[in-house]
Amino acid sequence: MLAPLQKRLLNDYQQDFPLSPTPYRDIAEQLGVSEDEVLNAFHALSEQQMISRIGPVIAPNSIGSSALVAMAVPEAELARVAELVNAYPEVNHNYERENRFNLWFVLIADDENHLNAVLADIQAKAGYRTMALPMLADYFINLGFELNLHD
């Protein structure tokens, strides 16, 4: 069960997170609580796996280089390869799909050379080929959602 402060943080700060040197203090002032309470609530949400990170969403390829990557991995090897892929800090997210290409992830790197080096390293360590898919059209899906604040 979420505490009222946790609900407010999840609901009100999915977007329009304060862009300042003291964002957690700014949130605390807006909500009438202490900065420590805000930090503790975000920490608890992270521990409960309700949030995975707090950070910006940057348009693909506007900074550095990125690719959607697919791999065809035998079911018996999927957990091992997914864990290996997740260990790379360049991997944004990783998920399984029901398809021959069953492991998909987004890779973000400083530049095209770095991106290709990480892909080659993943292939070498995993033992399976990666297929980088170029972005042909840019679509933005707003993933913010209104939480029901009533219990």
Catalytic residue set? 93
Residues 6+ apart with CB under 8 A from 121: 88
CB 140 within 8 A of CB 80: no
In degrees and rounded to multiples of 5, residue 70 shows phi and psi of -120, 150
Following CA atoms 77, 79, 82, 88 in sequence, which dihedral angle do they give, to the nearest 10 degrees?
Answer: -110
Q: How far apart are CA 7 and CA 31, in angstroms?
A: 12
Residue 46 in 3-state DSSP? helix
CA-based angle 108:126:49, to the nearest 5? 55
